[in-house]
Structure 1
């Protein structure tokens, strides 16, 4: 199992290299010194069904290291990554699709009610006031 001390001791090399942690999680060190945490997860679905994937990989990213020490900023630390890995395993065990959830979240964000959509909806559903109707009759 990878510890924080071992994680801090990882030095960049000319090529990306990986150090195993546990349960499909490992640390990948880039030539620039950045660290990401790829995870191998069991596949989704069952054999013979469309969309079946025997093994899949997701990556929890971190920001670049600072001063040759692995200080993780705006990313995930090792314990947080292990927790997220466990959540992903649980989602797969419940039969949820990680990619489908990601797409649905993106679609929901694009379908939010913007001011233009709100104004259009308001004017379509709201009847004009009596003074507005009277003014339109004059035109």
Structure 2
């Protein structure tokens, strides 16, 4: 996934109110969260808010990276399965050809053997009749 992400963290004063905000821009879509108060926030409190926001952002980014890695792994598994399935028809067609050629060779051998056995029987009958006539 190629997504452009830009995070901005800042505070400003407007109409006597202090605003602490987090702005995140992903693929041109801006997402934001603002905390508004009537009195200025102390430096330590601001730092706590910022550190908490940074921690949340880093956790979200880490989770996002983990999910992207999992999706890439799943996509690779699916590509591999699709590739295997695409190869199966060709393998089955080749196997069928091999079996049919073996079957045709076997049936031709059996047919030849039957023809030979029928000829040898016929020869045997003719020769027996000739021998009987000759011996009588």
Q: Structure 1 length as normaliser, TM-score? A: 0.31
Structure whose CA Rg is larger: 2
Q: Structure 2 length as normaliser, TM-score? A: 0.32
**Quick check: which one's helix share is greater?**
2
